[in-house]
Amino acid sequence: MYGCVMPSRPPAVSREADVVVVGAGAAGLYAALCGARSGARVVLISATPLAQTASYWAQGGLAAALAADDSPELHLRDTETAGRELVRRSAAEILVREAPECVRDLQTLGVRFDADRFGQLALGLEGGHSVRRVVHAGGSATGRRVVRQLSALAAEEPRVTVLEGTRAQALWRAEDRCRGLVCDDGDVITARAVVIATGGAAALWARTTNPPGSQGIGLLLASAAGAALADLELLQFHPTAVIGLAGREGFLVTEAIRGEGATLHDARGERFVDELAPRDEVSRAIQRLLDTTGERSVGLDMRAIDPAHFPNVVAALREAGLDPTRELIPVAPAAHYMMGGIVADLHARSTLAGLYAVGEASCTGLHGANRLASNSLSECFVFARRAIDHALSGSASPRAAPGEAELLALRALPAPPLAQVSTRQALWRAAGVERDAARLNTLLEDPHPLAQLIARCALARTESRGAHVRTEYPQRDPSLDHRHAVVGPGNAISWQTWT
């Protein structure tokens, strides 16, 4: 049990919808709008204000094969190279094929992406991409621009009921199907489909680029209702988070800045890594250097970069007292993106009927062992649309609201817990850029259920692959190629190959 039962509550309100979407980041907002466009009645609930979603903080942009010298095949190749023999090809194929159409759809919804002087979309280059393919807005303010526009549309849309400041406390499972959910104020929402879009779990680690709410709440909700989770050991560390600046700890300096020529330097001023290598390689190179020298950070030299191209990064650094046009920025790796999540198929269906998972909360397998930069926003849009299309194509109708006894039981279900500081520090120590069994074992006693599951998956993967590095198993084990660690009923772990 996660928490305690509230002794008394006001009478619950029961709402009925075609779809209830949990989370109002990029994935949730777009899912809600797609649902409304198809004529569905949608309830969209969000625990936090908009500015506290990872989507709002996204800087670089969305990857889509739009350039004349690009193609979905090339995008697929880069995605698979970064993902290290763990990318589920069918899911990645969908992403690369459908991302350009999502960019065009966002434009029709009023999102204004940056254009070059010929009026064509300006495409950025990021680590791991072999060509320019990252669509951005406001320089490095992509997430903010996209989320603001989509949330304005959702607020105006009569078919979407937005419940801000409301948390999903537990999912309602009846007759082996997800039928809706109960909110933290006791309200019950019944629906044909529930779409989990609650974001990732990187804020479970003490040093993170993510907003505090990104603690894998949706994973715990889904798992408590009986849906499977997978790949929890696969957590990407971003190489260039700002370190040691009061009020800006963990602030991410986008990869796109390295794409434009920013370089990394050790304490003697020497370069020590290919700055455009995939994130896991760059993170590891930095962390190893820091472990050897005992320094806290390396220097990011962006003095040659035009500040006008990255106005919000430059402004944030200046606010914190650093002038990136004159001095090096102290950076180090931080927990950034969880490749694992709620197991989802090519229509974003979880293993529980009626329950869908999209965005960072989901695990379709498309990122493999290491996400290619800027594939995640694209994934939010591509799979949110698929989830809605599938959910509305089915014949399931919402069940009548639960009866009194069922309601009481539902409202007594405990909400997933937030992690204590001690759990966050323990994850950073034991499941950081490099792991080993001795340290991972210490997490098995942690009070947070997801910390335990992360440790168990990391212990099971006795190899190094992509973002997951075990010091006692420094090589990739080919027998684990395309094998995903799936947490099923009773939290048992099994290996699965997904087609």
Tell me whether residue 318 is one of the annotated catalytic residues. Answer: no
Q: What is the DSSP string of 174-193?
A: ETTEEEEEEETTS-EEEEEE
Question: Applying CB under 6 A, which of residues 122, 141, 146, 168 lies at the interface with ligand FAD?
Answer: 168
- N- to C-terminal Cα distance for the chain? 35
Per-residue tokens: 214 = 């990104």
* Of residues 124 and 398, the one with the C-beta less far from ligand FAD: 124
Q: How many CB atoms lie within 10 A of CB 268?
A: 7
Give alpha helix (H) positions in 210-322: 217-224, 255-259, 279-293, 311-319
- Report d(CA 383, CA 344) in Å as an integer: 10
Give alpha helix (H) positions in 84-203: 89-108, 142-156
Please tell me the number of Cα atoms within 13 Å of 487 on its side-chain side: 29
Question: Applying CB under 6 A, which of residues 34, 54, 178, 290 lies at the interface with ligand FAD?
Answer: 54
* Of residues 204 and 440, the one with the C-beta less far from ligand FAD: 204
Are 56 and 210 in contact by the 8 Å Cβ rule? The answer is no
- Report d(CA 114, CA 94) in Å as an integer: 25
* Of residues 200 and 464, the one with the C-beta less far from ligand FAD: 200
Question: Applying CB under 6 A, which of residues 12, 20, 21, 26 lies at the interface with ligand FAD?
Answer: 26
Question: Applying CB under 6 A, which of residues 33, 36, 58, 342 lies at the interface with ligand FAD?
Answer: 58
Give alpha helix (H) positions in 394-480: 404-411, 421-430, 437-442, 449-460
Q: Tell me, by CB under 6 A, how many residues bind ligand FAD.
A: 44
* Of residues 45 and 96, the one with the C-beta less far from ligand FAD: 45
Are 74 and 130 in contact by the 8 Å Cβ rule? The answer is yes
Per-residue tokens: 355 = 């329950």
Proportion of the chain in helix, strand, coil states, percent, rounded to 5: 35, 20, 45
Of the ranges 47-55, 65-73, 405-413, 448-456, which one interacts with ligand FAD (CB under 6 A)?
A: 47-55
Indicate the helix (H) or strand (E) that contains 378.
helix 375-393
Of the ranges 209-217, 403-411, 453-461, 469-477, which one interacts with ligand FAD (CB under 6 A)?
A: 209-217
Question: Applying CB under 6 A, which of residues 59, 223, 297, 350 lies at the interface with ligand FAD?
Answer: 59
- Minimum distance from CB of 71 to ligand FAD (Å)? 20
Per-residue tokens: 245 = 């600046």
Catalytic residue among 167, 192, 279, 435: 279
Which residue of the chain is nearest ligand FAD when measured via CB?
25
Q: How many CB atoms lie within 10 A of CB 491?
A: 12
Residues 422-461: x where in contact with ligand FAD by CB under 6 A, - otherwise, as a string: ----------------------------------------
Pick left, alpha or beta for residue 443 (phi over 0 → left; psi -120 to 50 → alpha; otherwise beta). Answer: alpha
Q: Which of 469, 468, 25 is nearest to 232 (CA)?
A: 468
Question: Applying CB under 6 A, which of residues 198, 236, 240, 350 lies at the interface with ligand FAD?
Answer: 198
- Minimum distance from CB of 268 to ligand FAD (Å)? 30
Q: Is 233 in the site for ligand FAD (CB under 6 A)?
A: no
Q: Is 180 in the site for ligand FAD (CB under 6 A)?
A: no
- Minimum distance from CB of 469 to ligand FAD (Å)? 21
* Of residues 2 and 473, the one with the C-beta less far from ligand FAD: 2
Residues 97-136: x where in contact with ligand FAD by CB under 6 A, - otherwise, as a string: ----------------------------------------
Q: Is 377 in the site for ligand FAD (CB under 6 A)?
A: yes
- Summarize as ranges the residues that interact with ligand FAD (CB under 6 A): 22-28, 45-48, 53-55, 57-62, 142-143, 167-168, 197-200, 209-210, 213-214, 217-218, 252, 337, 359-361, 374-377, 380
Which residues are known catalytic residues?
279
